[in-house]
Amino acid sequence: MPEPSVPPALPAPPTPPVPLSALLADEDLGLRRIAGPTAPDPAIHWAHVSEMADPYPYLLGGELLLTAGLHIPEAAGSETDADAYFDGYVARIVAGGGSALGFGVAPVHDRVPRALVAACDAQGLPLVEVPPRTTFSGVARAVWQLMAEARLAELRRVTEAQQSLAAAASRPDPVPSVLRRLAQRVGGRAVLYGPDGTEIAAAGRETGAHESLAALAAVVRADPGPASAADATAGVHLAAYALGPGRGFTLGVATPERTSGDHTIASVAAVLLTLLTGEHQSGSGAARSSALVRLLLGAAPETVAPLLGGGGSGDERWAVLHARPEAPDGPAPDPVAASALATAFGSPLVDIDEDVVRILLPADREVTPQPGWTCGMSAPAGPREWPAADVQAARALARARATRSPLVRHGERPALSDLVPEADATAHSRALLAPIAATPALVETLRTWLSLHGSWDRTAVALAVHRNTVRQRIARCATLLATDLDDPDVRMELWFALKQE
């Protein structure tokens, strides 16, 4: 048998492993440990049956390898040959990363070979006796059931941690609160480092890895992106996260172990701290508060606009963006999701209106489609035109949903209305639309139906009503307006009138 070699490192599966002790505790299985160390408790990532004399090429690491001993050669009958065979066999399992070996008693062997017990004891591989009444498929099924239970428990832990972190971010002392809650949830220590590497705030128990964690945070500051490492001296796992591009703030986390759940929880905390440190660094939170107070006290929008991040005289152009989750039956956006979307667009000015996220951002800000969102964007507008831009963004979002486009922009180009004096255009519009003006649902349905070229289905999607409702409303419009809506000239005139509203 060839000499064992060290296999390449393989990533652990996302599902939490099952401790071997949990399988041994299952009385229905009747498994019994007969060799190998009892501590630490081996982690089982999957069960694998193999009767190969050399199972090494087929191991991924973390297996409970199950065998009935069909591979044992007759030549291993003598004590010397048996010792040599099983020493090599166990060595290959250990080299392949196997977590434990299960040997089935019957139908091939009536007991576990003594040489195999000795080899497992000598090389530190847990050996489990599988009784005749227990099938290998039953063992594998028990492993998967325990893994499913562990996965469900991990998902519940992550969900509860996300809710807890979001609540902590809303406290009067949000940064220390988020760090304290993070440290509690992962059972370790959380540290916030400033752009110069100084420790701004920390929470959780000391781990003895202060210098190692600070060094890892420095690596992340130089090359933003999550990074992880292990501190063998302190016996902890370290991770660091950059809080936003170009800001220099980093989050360091030290935990007793490294699990996918811990990484997810720390990532949520990093998003929240990114938002909180963004306000701390720029002072935009205080500026926005001042802007809101001044608007409520009657200040002109153009005098308030510079406080919102434009940074100029108030002549800047802005855009309004409306967004809804892409899945029509998905949950309504929460504050964390809305803030994350606004951060992606580079604006802290965000609001949630029922199931629509509204964002105000400088018009020169680059806007690209965002995965999982459907967006509509207004034309550039000055501060006094923000209400009209808000309406444009709503209509653009409706059109994006109807056409299943990730992003639709309201067009900004010379319009027909530019050729007609505004007062005359407005008077004509009001006169033409007077028969339906008292029923906003009719006006909006006509507007949407015309914008979608008379499509019943797409209009129904955009307005979130049944297509028959659209037909009834359009028929009512035709009756009240006493006109033929199939006539393109009529449609053009009505569209012109609706654009003035």
pLDDT digits (tens, 9 = 90+) for 32-84: 999 998 888 899 998 999 999 999 998 988 999 999 999 888 756 666 778 88
Mean pLDDT over 475-489 rounds to 90
**Average pLDDT, rounded, for the chain:** 82
The residue among 23, 29, 33 whose CA lies nearest residue 143 is 23
**Residues 339, 287 contacting (CB under 8 angstroms):** no
Q: Which amino acid is at 386?
A: W
pLDDT for the residue 6: 43
Of 236 and 331, the one with more pLDDT? 236
pLDDT for the residue 169: 79
Of 274 and 423, the one with more pLDDT? 274
d(CA 18, CA 324) in angstroms, rounded, equals 40
Mean pLDDT over 485-489 rounds to 87
Query: Is domain 18-145 given the CATH code 1.20.1440.60 in the classification?
Result: no
Please state which of the four CATH numbers 3.40.50, 2.120.10, 3.30.70, 3.80.10 is assigned to the domain occupying 317-409.
Answer: 3.30.70
d(CA 89, CA 101) in angstroms, rounded, equals 11
Mean pLDDT over 358-383 rounds to 86
Where residue 377 falls among pLDDT bands split at 50, 70, 90?
very high
CATH number for the domain whose boundaries are 170-282 = 3.30.450.30
Quickly count helices (H) and strands (E) in the chain: 16, 17
Where residue 295 falls among pLDDT bands split at 50, 70, 90?
low
Please state which of the four CATH numbers 3.30.70.980, 1.10.10.2840, 1.20.120.80, 2.40.10.10 is assigned to the domain occupying 416-499.
Answer: 1.10.10.2840
pLDDT for the residue 12: 47
pTM (two decimals): 0.46
Mean pLDDT over 266-291 rounds to 67
Of 477 and 342, the one with more pLDDT? 477
Mean pLDDT over 171-188 rounds to 85
pLDDT for the residue 292: 59
The domains spanning 170-282 and 317-409 adopt the same CATH topology: no
pLDDT digits (tens, 9 = 90+) for 253-262: 998 877 778 8
Q: What is the DSSP string of 363-389?
A: TTS-----TTEEEEEPPPB-GGGHHHH
Residue 473 pLDDT more than 90?
yes
State CA 385 to chain mean position distance: 35
Question: What is the residue extent of each domain of the chain?
Answer: 18-145, 170-282, 317-409, 416-499
pLDDT for the residue 207: 80
Mean pLDDT over 179-207 rounds to 88
Residue 418 pLDDT more than 60?
no
Task: Provide Rg for the chain, Cα atoms.
Answer: 33
pLDDT for the residue 489: 85
Q: How far apart, in Å, are the Cα atoms of 342 and each of 118, 352, 358, 398, 496? A: 63, 11, 9, 20, 34
